[in-house]
Structure formats: C-alpha cells, structure tokens
Structure 1
C-alpha cells in the first residue's frame, strides 16, 4: 500500500458530511475503475483500482488536477513510468502502465497491501544492528539494480520503502529518478531540489547534481534512523536541515545508542560522507560493505580494528591524525605563490636601471675607497632587511584581517544560561538568547547549541546566540476513550503523536465506532510521533437464534433476556400437535443472526381446542348416539351390570359437562 511522505494510512471518510472524492468510481482510459484513495502526496494521489482488462487489483497514481497542464511536471511524471518500467527486480514496485485521460495523467502500478518502513521505525526503532542491516539489504538490492540500469532514485526515504503483509520489501516511487547522463547531471526540474530534505545529499543542496552516491547518502541516513530512532539532522525549517547536511557530519549512531560496534559507526560514516568521493560508488558497493558488517555481527565480533579502518572514510582518518590542537586556530597567512608575489617588487629595487655615462668632475683627494664587494654586501643587507620588514608587516596585516580581529566562540554547551553568558562576555562577545529547543541529551535549562558553533570564528564584540534546552520532547497520550476513531486520530495529531493501528472489538456497552481503549493508555509519556494503537467498538456481538419451536415459551424468553434480546408472544393458537405453553413458531426463525436489543416474536400454543360433552343419561340409546355423533364424538355402548335390556343410558364417560377434544370417544352404559 503506497503512502505519502508522512506515512498516511489508508484514506478514511471524514464522516458523513465529508465530500466524496471525485476520482472514486471514475473509469480511466476505459480500463481502470478507481476505488478508494489510499495515499496522498505533494504531486499525486494513489488509489486502489481494478484493471478491468486483466481483472486484477492495482494501485493507480493520479497527478493532482492542474499539474497535468504544466508540461514540465507532466514530462517528469511520464519519465517516472518509463524509468521504473525498465526495472525488473523483486524489491522494486512494478509499473504496469501510463496514460493521459482527458488531462488526467496517471500511472498503474503494483499494489502492495501492508505498511511502510516509517511505520516500522515508529514502532521498533532503535533496532539492533543486525536487524537494521537485514531491513536495509533488500532496499540496497533494489537501488543497486537501478544504478546498474543507469537510474538514480533521488528520493530514498522510509515512506518509499513498502513492506507487504507477507514480509516482502519493495522500493516505490521512482518518480524522481532520471537516467544518468555522462555529460549532464543537472536537476530534473531546472534547479529545484527534488527529494525529502531529511535525506538530501550535500551535493543536491549545493548544486542539484546527483548520481548514485546521492542514493547511497540517503540510504545511510535511513540506516542511521533505524539504529537510533531519530534523524541525524533536525531543524525548525527545511533550510536549516539542508544547511546541516552541507556543514555537519552525520554523528556516529553510538552517540545515541552506546554500545554499537565501531565498525557500524564507520559504515554509517562511509555512506553519509559529505564528500561524495569518499562514499561507496553505488548501492552495490554499499551492499557489499553491509554484508561484511552483517557477517561480523553474526560472528559476535565486538571490535574489528581492520574492518573499522577499512570502512572509515580516508579523509576522516587523516583528520584524526593531523588535526591541529585546540590552540592552533590561526591559518597560514601565505602560501608559496603569495610569498613570491610579495617579494617580487623587492627584487626589482635591487637592480636599478642603468644611467648614461658622463665625465667625472675633478674632485679632491678622498680617503681610500672601500672595495666594491663590501659596498654591494652592505646594499644587499639593507635590501634584505627591507624585504624582511615588508614580509613581517604583510604577515601581521594578513594575520589581523584573517585571524587577529576574530575570537573563537567558547564552548559553553551544557552550561546554564548565566554561566554561558559569563563565559561569552569574558571572551569579549555579546550573548543573546535564541528560541529554546528540545534535546534528547541536554537537560532542560542548559545550552544545547550556539550560533556560531563552539570553536567558530566570530568578530570581537560579535553576537553569539544561545539555544537553551527544553529537555526531552515528550507528550502525554490524551484521553481517547469515548471518542470516535476520527476524533481520536485528530487528537493524536494535535498532541504530536502518531496513529498506529486499529483493532475492532465487540462491546455490549460501547456503541460501534467509539474508542474503547488505547495502547499505551492515556497519560503515558511518549516521544513525538510515537504510535498509539486504538481498540474501537464494533458494537454488541451478534446472536444466532436457537430453535425454540416445540419448547416452552417461558424458557425461550428467559434465554433471549440473557442475550440482551427481547422476546414477546405475538399470538396464541390452539394446536392439536403442540402442547399448551410451547412455541408453535418464531420470527425471526431459528439460525438468524440478530443484534442486542432486537425483538423475537413467538406464536404460543393454547393446546387443542376442547368441546363440552352433553349429558345423555336417561335417553334412549339411539337418541343419545345421534346427539353425540352430531357433535363429532365417537360413541361406544355396553350393558351396565344388572342391565334389564331396556336400551336406556344409565351412565356415560366422560360425563356430561366435561371438556374433551373433538372426536373423542364417549362410552355409554345401557340398562
């Protein structure tokens, strides 16, 4: 499932009043039936769709309305299809088709149900080095395939790494990739930076030029994030973050997670070297280095000096050996060419231009002249002194302009504000309090950074801005119980926390769609964007009706009551087959699924309909028999004990006035 930069989950309706997406239900190019939107990015939205021609589910990326009118955007969109379609690799999201339906430019791609690496980072980072490298291996394999094909992704980030429900890892969105050309590598958008600023290589920030090593840098940043759970460079604005990518090295992951092997730090340093000449040439080389580190981890190696030295960028090794001491801050005022330029006029003075000869005037006797060699020696000495004086003066001037009028910013990190201000004022600088910032490592109220950085040159009397720490950035999980799912997600966003997953659960007490609980629970303190999972009610659990026909109606009503249902007798009927008080029929019938609060109606038997037996005592047998048979009774006769043969009814059974079923037999005793 594709998502945008912020890891948006599958799009949900914003409630009953939310405006329907105009794309949903539309048929693109007579082939793709657009379904629900599953992601939205800065340039396009992604929908789940059905390919009617091949009868399969795909993901369709549709450029936002209006952008298709911009030829530059449209051409880049088309390049995405052509570039990604050239890649056939199990770890690359496949691109099936590209088209333009009356100005709606779209791509048809492989649909990956699942989540993104951003979700994994939120839930599982910091990771162990072995697990982080295992996650990166398929990503680097996909990038290596692209680099072999002459393509640069240019937007490697966790949001573009999809993890299917079956565990497959896929790199998505080669929309910013372009074929590498040997004669030009300018930005694909005429100088506009493409890519997410947290993962931009320094050369992309400076010149917009990119090759495979820009992807290597971004992959190194993703690895850093897996190992530490945080991004290496943070800032209040994208420009501040981009500035740090250019001017600051990615810190060793072990500064955030102590105990990581030095060769893991070295691997990250090599991949994220600011000088791209020090990085691996492409993702295939970095993948080889990842395999070496993974092997060392699997062997349980805690320290491998040779592997660490091999991975550490060469320039960092040289700087570690040749770095000047803390007091050696003055640059060399001249190099050899500057010195030659400075002394050239001096050499001209020592060789004056010749003058025309003229007759020497008569002069009085003079003391014995000094030998010519001595005069030349003195003149050369004077010129040498002048040259040295000029050199010293020039050096002093250069020192003053290049270093003498500057002061090194004192290191005040970790100090209280007052202590830091005293230190800066003692150095002749003007301290100024800037906006405070959160810090994972510096306690609240102490200096987390300065501008300029410690050790940087600043003019005497210049201003140094102090940034005080607000402490660790943490937020409490709000009370989400009794909110709708959408309201709970909004509350998490407002509270700087992330939405994790939703689990639905039956509840007899909480209405459907309402949050039952959250994990972590309300009041738990978390890092920003930490995921919070929700348990949402599906309402009461449905009940499957038992068969109560032929059974006691009172028992049936008691069972329904225990299940939260209502039972009522809608009708009572005579029945020759069902005993009185038992159920003749029920509505809904047995086997039907009903919900809590529903009503089940019963037709209950009154038993068979009874008829009163008339008294026929004293009647002649013929008349008595006729009376009873006309009422539907059967008649049988027998002589009473001591019968006289008169043919009159002496007694009957059942007796007169008794209630019996129609068709019952009446026995007559004759006298």
Structure 2
C-alpha cells in the first residue's frame, strides 16, 4: 500500500484509480467528497489540453451535456480545470461497455439487441430534443449497468471533436470511429440527429451479426464504403434474424437521411412494435416497396412476350392472313385486361396494408413551439394533442420539448400526438433545517436534489453538530442543484473531526493526529465502493465537533467481498440461476441456438467466469443456455411426366 496521498481536483474529486485510457482522455474512478459518492472523472490528455479552441468547445459541450438528465444517458455533473488539466465529472457506471460485451460474448439475441437499441434511441432522442447531436455513437460509448440498462456516454467529447476544419485524416478524430460513420459524416457534410440514427443502425447490425456491415484496411476505405456500398443483409450472416428487426436495421442504414427514421423516438416506437410481436413500420415500408417493384416487373414480363410472339410468327399462307389479323386484336385485348388487373391488384395490396379509418395526415413539426401554437396546429391537421409537462433546465417554460410521433410521420386523421411541454427550471421549497443535527439536515436537503456546503461556527450555547443557520433562508423556492450553506455549531474548545473517508489509512491517521485526536487500531470490513486499504468510516464521523484528544475509531476497507463462483454447466437454466444467486452473484443469460432435440436445449452450455474462481460479490456470471431451433418440415413434391405418343 502506497502512503502517497490521492490527487484531488478542485478540492472535491479524490482520484483513486484509472478505469480506462483512450486517445483523447483518461478515465478515473474518483470520490466526490461533498456528496460522498463514487464518480468517474474524464481528464483530457496533454495534447488536447493545450489547444485553446478545443478546450473551449470541450467546455461548452460539457456544459450542454450536463443538462441532459435522462435514464439512458450517463450523467455529467461538473467540469473544471486545475494545473492545466481539464476534466469532466460524470456518473460512475459499474458495468461493461457494449463493445466489451460483444467482444466477450459475440452476437446478442435479437430481442436483447432491440432492447439495448431502444434504450440508446431513448437517450439520443432526449439529447436531440435539446439540440445536442452525439456524432460518435458506437459500442464503446454505450455502457451497461449491472442490471443491464444501457446508457449513452461521451456526448461532450464527441461533439467537441467536430468543427469546421475537421478532416477524415485528422489524427484522433476518425481512427476507431469510421466504422460507425454516417455517409454525410464521411463526406464532411453537416449532420443532424438522423446521422446518429445511421450510426446506431451500424451498432444494431453488429449486435445481431457479431460484426459491422463494412470493414477496410484504413478509415478512409471504410468511410468510402459507407458512402458508396450497400450493406449485406444481416440475415445473410444470421439466417434466424426476424424480418421485422432486419427491416429496422436496413431502414437505419439508408444512404439518404430522408429515407431513415425521422427521429430517434420513431425508431424507439418501431423497436417497441418488434418486441411486442407486431409488424414494424420498416417492415411495412419494405413490403410496399417490394410490391411496387414486383408489380412493375410483372408488367414488364407480361408485356415482353407479346412482342416476342409477334416477331416469331412465320409468314403465313395467303388463305391464313384473315385468321392472323383476327388473333392480333384478341392478344392486345388480353394484354390490356391483364395490365388493368395487375394495377388493381397493386392498389388492393396497398389498401390492405394501410387500411384503417381516416385519411393520411403528416404530423407537423412542433418542437420549440408554445403549447398553444402546437395544439392549434394539431387541431388544424385533424389530430388530437395529449400534453404532459416536465421541468427543464434548458428549455423555456411553455415550449414543446418533444413529440410522439415525430414530424412528417404519416398517421390517420384523429390520431393522438403526445407532447411534452417544459414547465421551466425545476424548483423546490427550501426546508427549514435549523436546529437539526448536521447529518439529518444534509439528508433532507440532498433528498430534494440540493447540494450542501458545511461551514463550522463556534458556539457556547448550541450543541455541537447542530445547524445554527442556513443560506438561503428556509421556505424560499430554489432551483434543483443549488448549493445550500449550513452553519454548524462547533463547541467551545472542541475540534472538528477531519473527513478522511476514502483516504489511505496512513494518510487518514496523519490527518486525525494533526487535528489533535488519537486513533485506535483500525478494524477491517469489506466494501464494494471503497478501495482496499482506504477508510470506510470513522467514529465519531467526519465533521463532528468533539473534545480534543478524543479517540477516533477507524474502519478500513479490505475491498469487495469475494465469493466462489459455483459450477453450473449442465444444469437447467432455473437451477443454475438459483445456485448463482444463492452465493450473492447476479446472472446474465445469453441464449444460443442448438439443433432440435439437442440435449443441451434448456441447459447451461458454458459460463463466464468459470466455476471455482473468486469474484466480487454482486458481480455477474454470464451463462450461455441452449435454445432449440424450430423444427423444420420438409415437403417432398413428386412430378409425374406424361408422354403422349402421336402415331
């Protein structure tokens, strides 16, 4: 164990260990001393930190990302600079990236892939409604929590990398991401939210097939393919892929943005249709396109033999001329009738696919309008508005934040359009916490989404650790996220116990001794959040006002509790899940198709980690379970050839 004190950014973020390193930044696990919670700190590497224009874009976009509060977006809490280092403080997600999952497990089950894509679309749609385009959607920027929830990350850096002088060959801006470029990105054109949808289509393609649609020796070669080449149908790589999901993927990968989904919300809704077993909009559109092409081909095929037959008729004897002339009008009439029937059949098919009451109406663009303006436009279009409100730190009150369905989506007249309207910055009434113990006061304020700053104040009349006053005063409305300063009593002749939680033991003991206290021999306990050898807690707690020379008891972390992974290969899924959970581990099930009648159907084929390994309590064990393929029925058709002999 090192006695070197941890690095602290802005006197608040205590760096513990590095989690990842990339070409642009390093990510660290840190502790927020103010709120006593783990956070992730992303710190720019020196070559980017010395570029003023990049730093300014980085700061601006970090602030924009900080306003994206959504369950499917990794939260950005803060940004700052210290000693030439620029950093972003983010939500800590204790789970793998989608890229790590795909590398370890290969293709995902179609339903699981659709679930992840739907959650990513939800996060992107929220960002798009706030005017933020990600521009770097890829598996490495999708994190999965222990419960399997998908969260999109790296909004700030992805946006900051885009500027007017970006180039495909610019170092660091393309390598590793050209695989997921949209055609417009590859050509250096301006991008809008539909560019993110193309990139998500590439990610979804990779989730179900195990590889992206395009590969090449250089980023430029890959980018060229995004612009010029058609992707192979994913079902050619994964024959069991459901047609509905394949249609969604191919719609996302259209070269022209106008041919993709109009919004992330439209995509999310179509993925929901797939997961519910309904026909998707993408599947319907593909069927209509195929029918139109099929009708045109059929007419061309029908028309062609008329010319061929006419040209192949040999010269007739004079006495047969009248008979041939009589046949020609009949042939033309037959062709005419056939064309009319084909056109009628095509119209009938179109009506059957789209049949429902009401005329087709294109949903207008409503985002950014006032509630009254949006409702008026919908009523004028014979559509029904359904309005809900939600607070927003970035969208002014009474303006539309999002709409469902999105703009230009075709619906039937009388359909309902859902509107989310901003109620403005969320405020709370500041509770009166004077007279409460410091811990209780902090608990109440944090529960209301407020930050707390403690200022000790010596008092002979008020008990130590009690809130003397607060700023702002009680019962006034304040914005969520505001800082409330609490003046806490410090007894006469007493000292405040230093807050040493998260510090290495030697450093904590030195701080306690320097403050005029004694410390007892530390006790040990397992912790999933505090690193091995660092302090979990003290008694009295940090911030307490006690007499000098008081004995401080320290609890030190031994790291996460370790448990032995049981061996479950060969067990059925239910028994394996029960066995794993019994020892305190979670389970992630990955289905794998096996032939019908295979003894592995319904049983665990493999597991990761292997049985017998020691793992952190609460971590996941991935089990691969056999799923029997659908039995196929083969129909044998016998053709009898009849020979007629003419004497």
TM range (shorter): 0.3 to 0.5
TM-score, normalised relative to structure 1: 0.42
Q: Greater CA radius of gyration, 1 or 2? A: 1
Which structure has more RCO (C-alpha within 8 Å, separation ≥ 6)? 2
TM-score, normalised relative to structure 2: 0.43
